[in-house]
Amino acid sequence: MADHALVFHPARPAAPPGRLAAAGLWLRRHRRLVGGIQWLIVAVYATLVVVPAFLPLPPEGAHLWDNLRLFAQFAFWGVWWPGVMIATVLFGRVWCGLFCPEGALSEWASRYGRGRPLPGWLKWPGWPFVAFVCTTVYGQLVSVYEYPQAALLVLGGSTVAALAIGLLYGREKRIWCRYLCPASGVFAVLAKIAPLHYRVDRTAWDRHAGDFAPVNCAPLVDVRRMTSASECHACGRCAGQRGAVALAARSPAAEVVDLAGRASTAEALTLLFGVLGVATAAFQWTVSPWFRDAKLALAEWLVERESFALLDNDVPWWLLTHYPEANDLFTWLDGALILAYILGGGFLLGAVLGLGPALAARLLRAPGLTWQRFTLALAPLAAASVILGLSMLTVSHLKAEHVWLGWLPACRVALLAAGCLAAAGFALRLVRRAGASRAARAAAFAAMLLPVGAMAAIWRLVFFVW
């Protein structure tokens, strides 16, 4: 985009903006600085993704601070991704708008792109969910958290795809981020409960008179009609537009309990089957005794019948984990069981959790109180779950460095309790909106406690039983 398109000439407000609104205006006025930070992150990202893939295994006794492979693993999976999820819950999609290297590269490539019309298949709302599930499962099969070659394949492949989409279809927009990014659906769900958002005053927008600068909304959001933080990348480019857009605080429950707002099926399915289902199964299979017992039983059954094909471990590393130098070799049986556990277990868990919202909606039969709306009430629980899961990687690295973790159990309990209580509170606020009988509302609330209790029980198994 030409520099002159970023010049900002809003109508002067009658009073100075508050601190939050001023922060949004600062981001708009300093787009060059933000762009410089994004390119710095691109450089760091490229270094941490590419260089470790060509380094040897860390020697015995290596540490995070003296071995780039270990440092990159800890930086990506122990700090980077947990931090991104926490930031999204607290501030909305600031990672997407201000820091994401894939988004910055895709938008940069789109400046030189062919600008083809977007095909109908690309705009299918289910792509983020499908991409998230496929990336999650594939990452587990190739051990993306442990080996930089796998990280380069998964993360680098995603970045190349983002660049290609930008070159083909972009016109100074982030087509990849809007429609195809594997993390976009998760970010959209978590951003719904962020206490910060860009508020749009439709009345002020429509009555505004005078000159105003055009806004390049990279993720293709209709700013005038924006009512949700799900698609907003929180970049600040539209702050102050027509004197109607401002960074502001809100209740974390604001979007969930607003019955006039959107509660889409795609978002509800992503929350149930993606964040709470598949992601939870992906986090826990390595510590699950159910997985271990099933593997041993099947292996014994195959050996007894002298059927050894599934026990073969001569598999390409880009298909299944295969690192003989680290004595880490997946067999075809391992791969099949991982697929079954993550996909089968994840979708089964999502279906079980979905019974609560479905039953609550059926009991109340109130306008706006759909199963999708009740499912969104589980967003705080989804946030706590994904942060707990990602932090398991953080903990494994810290344990290897003999860091004292006596505080960890209490911290985990507190985070899980916060997610459960917030989800129950959101559900209670929705139930109270119904005009049904007291008995029906009590039953609906009890139904919503089922998925909350189920997730609490699962994480108790992971942390305190298994």
What pLDDT, in 10s, does the model give residues 21-54? 999 999 999 999 999 999 999 999 999 999 999 9
Going by pLDDT thresholds of 50, 70 and 90, the confidence category of residue 209 is confident
Confidence of residue 9 (pLDDT cuts 50, 70, 90): very low
pLDDT of res. 319: 97
Q: Average of pLDDT values for 109-134?
A: 92
Question: Mean of the pLDDT values across residues 125-152?
Answer: 96
> Residue 215: what pLDDT?
86
pLDDT class of 15 with cuts at 50, 70, 90: low
What confidence category does residue 212 fall into, taking pLDDT thresholds of 50, 70 and 90?
Answer: confident
Residue 432 has pLDDT above 80, yes or no: yes
pLDDT (mean) for 86-111: 95
Residue 324 has pLDDT above 80, yes or no: yes
Q: pLDDT at position 14, please?
A: 47
Mean pLDDT value of segment 180-195: 96
The position carrying tokens 């390409």 is 316
Q: What is the per-residue pLDDT for 211?
A: 66
Mean pLDDT score, 288-306: 95
